[in-house]
Amino acid sequence: MTDDPFCLFDTWFAEAKAAEPNDPDAMALATADAAGRPSVRMVLLKGHDARGFVFYTNLDSRKGEELVANPEAALLFHWKSLRRQVRVDGPVEPVTDAEADAYFATRSRDSRLGAWASDQSRLLDSRATFEARFDAMSDRFQGGDVPRPPRWSGFRVVPRQIEFWSDRAHRLHERRLFVRSGALESGNGGWTESMLYP
């Protein structure tokens, strides 16, 4: 047992990476627009530490626009093989340009070109149009580095609370809830742990 939710997450995440057959870093990301209309999709966790959980996207995508208009989000990790879930919610903040540049540089060249070619979440008249745009970007950057597009970056979900859910027989599940007791802005303070009825 631990009173630090990040240590517990590290343990569970390591076990998920060993047990899950596909994408243990996949998480559902829920956002809402300025009017409160919700939206959810799967994204990949690309970094986590005591500051929060990081993912990347096109800032002009639906999720990017929603996070600018309403900078709150919820995450859900579901590791079916382990019969576990982790829920996170809190405000979001943009990652630094240095963080975004460093992560973007780790992506495959084709993924970097795709970030330039895609108007993510916008209507597309045909697959051929997208492939032609990809080819144009390939020609544009031929023989050179593919820098991060100006409208591509990341967000960090700064947890206000983290819930760890474990499956138990007869639906008598275990739910541990950690709520931040310090100021989110400073990252100071600790966590208060409670149990929840299943």
Question: How far apart are the C-alpha atoms of 49 and 97, rounded to whole Å?
Answer: 18
Q: Could you give the 3-state DSSP secondary structure of residue 46?
A: coil
| Pair 36, 96: CB distance under 8 Å | no
The pairs formed by 137-142 with CB atoms below 8 angstroms and a separation of 24 or more are: 137/113, 138/113, 140/116, 141/113, 141/116
Question: How far apart are the C-alpha atoms of 177 and 186, rounded to whole Å?
Answer: 21
Question: How far apart are the C-alpha atoms of 45 and 159, rounded to whole Å?
Answer: 14
Question: How far apart are the C-alpha atoms of 135 and 177, rounded to whole Å?
Answer: 48
| Pair 44, 111: CB distance under 8 Å | no
Pairing verdict, β 152-157 and 47-49: unpaired
Active site residue 171: yes
Question: How far apart are the C-alpha atoms of 177 and 194, rounded to whole Å?
Answer: 5
Catalytic residue among 51, 62, 122, 171: 171
> Tokens in use for 116?
């330039």
Element (H, E) at 100: helix 97-106
Residues acting as catalytic residues: 171
